[in-house]
């Protein structure tokens, strides 16, 4: 038996993928589908199958060459993946360091930089760069992604915290699981949300028809995104309205903000995966920036808050739009404003006044092109 991957973040640790094979993947080899689901290489997926980590219709698969059929039930246990080769230090990787001490590093990640090595990105990642500057993280957390406790999509810029010690790793992972880490994002979306302040409360999971995407699905994991509209623009948009939002994550599902906003009909500008790439506003990546990060320091318990200014490429987009038609400003405490609105709303305890994605039986899984 091969060595297996170690424990991950709360959402990844011991997670078994349970999927019904969609029509889009009918006829594909098992090892290719396993590779798509786990973001592993084909060779690693083949090892997983050989080790007994893939079950098709309740029977352990014996070969990655078998062709899957639509409707078959596939269970894949990533714990059977081979332990990844430790990433190497790479001083050429560029990223900003906002803060560093002997426990944590707060990074301002540029758009286009992958957080950790994976299929298609074996080198040149943030982790490779971190190892060059902070080699002590090599033994912290998972072998293939040392120090990483949460991630940002490759196209998302902004803040994330990295653990430098086992203590920091364990405490930050626990804080994320308890939703004690504050994460706020700035984004630009198509259209104007019906409610200027709201909560999108809808489960997020793999799209049943395309496992390479995420979607609002009935069997997904609980996910909540709070948002507040900061400004509405119409200039230089081809006549369409676009809105600048401040979003706060309560949970941290893959592509959560992108999926939630697309599901309520307001995809992120520039997001080609979930329906936001349109010629009226040319932008080379999703307009999404992790602007604020807040957490308790693992050793001192002090509240740490960091803010990252919007990068130049996104500022240029706003500059082309001109003055907003409606502006709420950005100097209001978004969290307090949202909390106040929700607490004062009739029936809000049950979510009746929240912005909601359509129920899965009403086509919510079609709220995608996250």
Catalytic residues: 153
Distance in angstroms (rounded) separating the CA atoms of residues 326 and 356: 23
DSSP 60: E
What is the rounded CA–CA span in Å between residue 202 and residue 184? Answer: 18
Q: How far apart are CA 176 and CA 163, in angstroms?
A: 13
* Strand-pair partners of 74: 19, 56
Under a CB-based contact definition with an 8 Å cutoff, are residues 109 and 152 in contact? yes
Give the chain's length: 370
List, as one string, the DSSP characters of 207-272.
Answer: ETTEEEEEEE-TTSB--EEEEEEEEEE-TTTTT--EEEEEEEESS--TTHHHHHHHHTT-PBTT-T
Phi-psi region of 262 (alpha: psi -120 to 50; beta: other; left: phi over 0): alpha
């Amino acid at each position: 038996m091969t060595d297996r991957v170690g424990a991950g973040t709360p959402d990844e640790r011991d997670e078994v993928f349970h999927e019904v094979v969609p029509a889009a993947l009918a006829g594909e080899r098992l090892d290719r589908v396993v590779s798509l689901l786990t973001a592993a290489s084909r060779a690693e997926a083949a090892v997983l199958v050989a080790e007994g980590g893939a079950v098709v219709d309740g029977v352990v698969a014996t070969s990655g060459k078998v062709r899957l059929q639509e409707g078959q039930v596939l269970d894949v246990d990533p714990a059977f993946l081979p332990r990844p080769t430790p990433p190497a230090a790479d001083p050429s990787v560029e990223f900003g360091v906002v803060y560093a001490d002997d426990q944590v590093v707060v990074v301002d990640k540029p758009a286009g930089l992958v957080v950790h090595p994976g299929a298609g990105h074996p080198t040149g990642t943030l982790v490779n760069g971190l190892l060059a500057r902070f080699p002590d993280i090599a033994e912290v957390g998972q072998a293939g992604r040392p120090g990483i406790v949460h991630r940002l999509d490759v196209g998302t810029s902004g803040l994330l915290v990295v653990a430098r010690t086992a203590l920091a790793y364990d405490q930050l992972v626990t804080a994320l699981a308890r939703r004690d880490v504050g994460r706020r994002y700035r984004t630009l979306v198509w259209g104007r949300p019906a409610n200027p302040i709201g909560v999108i409360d809808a489960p997020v999971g793999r799209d049943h028809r395309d496992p390479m995407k995420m979607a609002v699905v009935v069997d997904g994991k609980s996910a909540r995104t709070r948002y507040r509209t900061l400004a509405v623009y119409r200039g230089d948009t081809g006549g369409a309205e676009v809105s600048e939002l401040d979003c706060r994550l309560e949970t941290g599902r893959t592509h959560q903000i992108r999926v939630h906003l697309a599901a309520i009909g307001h995809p992120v500008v520039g997001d080609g995966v979930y329906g936001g790439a349109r010629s009226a506003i040319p932008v080379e990546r999703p307009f999404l920036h992790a602007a604020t990060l807040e957490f308790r320091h693992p050793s001192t318990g002090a509240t740490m808050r960091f803010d990252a200014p919007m990068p130049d490429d996104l500022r240029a987009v706003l500059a082309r739009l001109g003055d907003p038609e409606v502006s709420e400003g950005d100097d209001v405490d978004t969290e307090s404003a949202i909390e106040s609105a929700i607490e004062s709303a009739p029936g809000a305890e049950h979510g009746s006044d929240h912005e909601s994605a359509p129920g899965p039986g009403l086509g919510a899984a079609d709220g995608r092109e996250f």
